[in-house]
Amino acid sequence: MPKRNKVKGRRQSKLRELTGRPVSSEECQQAALILKHAHDSASSLLKAFDLARAERGSPRGTTTDMEQDLLRAMVVMAAAGLDAMAKQLIRDSLPKLVEADPSVRQGLEKFISRQIRDGSDGPELPSSRKFLARVLAAPAQQAEVIELYMQELTGGSLQSPDQLIRTASAIGVPPETFGVDLRTLKRIFGIRNKIIHELDMYLEGDRRKRNQRGKGDMISHANDLLKTAENLRDAVDKKLAEFS
Q: Is 155 within 8 Å of 167 (Cβ atoms)?
A: no
Domain boundaries, the chain: 25-100+159-242
Q: How far apart are CA 112 and CA 114, in angstroms?
A: 5
Give the burial string for 151-174 (b: 16+ CB within 10 Å, else e): ebbbeeebbebebbbebbebbbbe
CB 105 within 8 A of CB 98: yes
What tens digit of pLDDT does each residue of 146-199 get? 999 999 999 988 999 999 999 999 999 999 999 999 999 999 999 999 999 999
Q: What is the DSSP string of 151-202?
A: HHHHSS---SHHHHHHHHHHTT--GGGGSS-HHHHHHHHHHHHHHHHHTTB-
User: Which portions of the chain are predicted below pLDDT 50?
Assistant: 1-2, 5-9, 121
Residues 60-77 pLDDT 10s: 888 999 999 999 999 999
Q: Any idea which fold 25-100+159-242 has?
A: Four Helix Bundle (Hemerythrin (Met), subunit A) (1.20.120)
Rounded Cα gap, residues 244 and 241, in angstroms: 5
User: Per DSSP, what are the bridge partners of residue 213?
Assistant: 5
